[in-house]
Structure 1
Amino acid sequence: MDFRLDQDQRDLVRGVRELLAGRFGREALRAAVDGGGGGDGEGDGRLDRGLWKELGEAGLFALRLPEERGGVGLGLPEAVLVFEEAGRALLPGPLVATHVAAGSVPGAAEGAVVVTEVSPEGLVPWLEAADVVLGAAEGAVPVRSVDPLTPLHRVPGTGEWASETVLLTAAEQVGTAAWCTDAAVAYATRREQFGQVIGGFQAVKHLCAGMLVRTELARAAVHGAAVTADPVEIAGAKLLADEAAVANARDCLQVHGGMGFTWEADVHLHLKRAWVRAALVLPGDRAAEEVAAAL
């Protein structure tokens, strides 16, 4: 089986990346992060409805709906490619929940309705911004989120995650892992120390090489699971994607040195989002249990 992307898939990736770069580039990201009240850098929980509508018009939520129902008519492998780009761009909002609900919740496919979901772990992202909440959210209490662009509430956890939700979240994690790899390499090739670029130092080379290996391993697992749609393979892909996202963000911080730990740098935003995704959807211990049970 040939797992390489065909021309249509490569065009899809390029188109989505260009769309997100134009609509939610770095300036928009920083404006969203720094737009919280009090100037403390904590987001105010408001979702950009204009952006959400544009994402709907671009087909992000209706990607897997059949054309006769107003959708794009693509499959899970293409959705994985799109959500990897969303993860790379750090798009805010309950993207996966709205996408998964596009076939059953009126208005979700068009981006007119925001859908969130109660996690089996008892967390609800973007509760106050959502029009529709899937699951019981009575008695939800706000909790402090490490990610300034993912407001969270906590409720009693019940139920299980849908496999497609796990897989698309893993794809977002791959996007963060890839962004961190690219950012670390770009910085290492221009930052000079002791008269040479730091990318020439063996320790930095090893860090960047390890980041690339983790990214490609996780990407291969996510792409493979998108083709088979096997729940165990999806759980394994989520494990690898979580590890790649978190470890790559940490190594990217290391490559950037003291600058990487400043609020003005974007590296910490990817690390924080990776932490939240890892905890919110099929955490590592539960994913490991699912894989182990199948061995």
Structure 2
Amino acid sequence: MRFLPDAEQRAFAASLDALLAAADTPAVVRDWSRGDHASGRALWSRVAEAGVFALAVPEACEGGLGPRPVELALAFVELGRHAVPGPLVETVTAAVLLGGADPGTAERLLPALASGGTIATVGIETARAETAGTETAGTKTAGTKAAAMKTAYALDGDVAALRLSCSPGGIRLSPGHGPVRPSLDPARRITPLTPGGELLLPGPLTDQALAWARLTTAAQALGVGLALLDQTVTHVKRRCQFGVPVGSFQAVKHRLADAKIALEFARPLVFGAALSMRPAEVAAAKAAACEAAYGTARTALQLHGAIGYTAECDLSLWLTKARALRTAWGDPHRCRALVVSAAGDRRW
């Protein structure tokens, strides 16, 4: 099996890297975190013009170039390397979901996703318990029964024009969203989706759509880890202690070598999973890439020192993203459980 990209794929990744390097993405991320989406939308349009979202849209649909998971994985490594904000994974997942809808729905919604004219997000309905109470003489007392309130939470629902709410009963086009809530990564703001809306697809989120979400998350995390490693290597070469660069200390070299090995181990898993798109292989790739990125973030923070915590330091933009991606679309424990389950199945 070939894991190395061909010349055309390498040129695509290099062109996207150049585009993002010229975009001053740290400033875009900070604007996005404050709720100012103008620069982020402009960058989104340039990413779409490069063909990134079209790679998830079937060729039969207007503007579609896909589905092409290997090219998407390459693109998301670069998007992660440059910390591009917004519901990138969710827009790809929405495109994959809508690719399985009826032709009329697909033709109505997919072209705008491919062109970047529409930003999409996807939320999975979860149950939240609420304690029932009784009203006595104007005073509310807690009861013993609990009512389950089901809500779908999505990334950047205030920015997305297309909001898909996933429940066991089907995939619906949510008519709105609730108040914006902060998250660990300031550039990944959470919003509850309004229930109801048009039913687009019957049944829950499919394993294949979940595999696409996990693949692009894994590739994005790999890019985040690579950026953190590059920034840290540059830092320890410049910072001096006892008259010599910190990077010359053997303990520092060992930490960076461990981070490098983990990232390079995850890379073929990500692209191997993109070739097969088997859910268990994708889950293995996500666990490896997200753990490698998270481990690299811890190393980067330790070697930068307290400055790495500060919002003024660009490093923090990647640190928080590495932590958030680790649990997005299935934490490492859940992904490993899927791999173990598949290993006991002869169809693996």
Report the TM-score, using the length of structure 1 for normalisation: 0.88
Q: Identify the match of residue 60 of structure 1 among 42, 52, 55.
A: 52
Render the CA deviation track for 1:241-273: whole Å, top value 9, x for unaligned. 111111111101111123222222122221211
Q: Which runs of 5+ in 1 are unaligned?
A: 37-41
Task: Describe the shift of the 1:214–1:261 C-alpha distance in structure 2 as closer, same or farther (beyond 3 A).
Answer: same
Q: Which residue of 2 aligns with 1:146?
A: 184
Amino acid paired to 2:267: R
Alignment of 1:15-30 (within 5 A): 15-23=15-23, 25=24, 28-30=25-27
- Give the number of equivalent residue pairs: 286
Aligned-residue Cα RMSD (Å) equals 2.5
CA separation in 2, counterparts of 1:214 and 1:101?
30
Q: Which residue of 2 aligns with 1:113?
A: 118
CA separation in 2, counterparts of 1:225 and 1:12?
20
SS at match of 1:128: coil
Task: Describe the shift of the 1:99–1:155 C-alpha distance in structure 2 as closer, same or farther (beyond 3 A).
Answer: closer
Amino acid paired to 1:50: A
Range 130-139 or range 166-175, more displaced: 130-139
CA separation in 2, counterparts of 1:147 and 1:270?
9
Q: Identify the match of residue 34 of structure 2 among 43, 56, 72.
A: 43
Q: Which residue of 1 aligns with 2:70?
A: 77
CA separation in 1, counterparts of 2:58 and 2:227?
31
Report the TM-score, using the length of structure 2 for normalisation: 0.75
CA shift for structure 1 position 31: 5.0
Q: Which residue of 2 aligns with 1:39?
A: none
SS at match of 2:275: helix
Q: Does 1:224 align with 2:272?
A: yes
CA separation in 2, counterparts of 1:155 and 1:73?
29
Render the CA deviation track for 1:82-124: whole Å, top value 9, x for unaligned. 0010011111111122234345323111010010000366531
CA shift for structure 1 position 128: 0.8
Task: Describe the shift of the 1:128–1:64 C-alpha distance in structure 2 as closer, same or farther (beyond 3 A).
Answer: closer
Q: Which runs of 5+ in 2 are unaligned?
A: 100-105, 127-151, 167-173, 195-203, 344-348
SS at match of 2:291: helix
SS at match of 1:20: helix
Larger-gyration structure (1/2): 2
Q: Whose strand fraction is larger, Structure 1's or Structure 2's?
A: 2
CA shift for structure 1 position 280: 2.5
Render the CA deviation track for 1:19-54: whole Å, top value 9, x for unaligned. 11112x2xx423541x47xxxxx5226363222222
Task: Describe the shift of the 1:140–1:74 C-alpha distance in structure 2 as closer, same or farther (beyond 3 A).
Answer: closer
CA separation in 2, counterparts of 1:179 and 1:120?
33
Q: Does 1:98 align with 2:91?
A: yes
CA separation in 2, counterparts of 1:247 and 1:240?
10
Alignment of 1:192-211 (within 5 A): 192-211=240-259
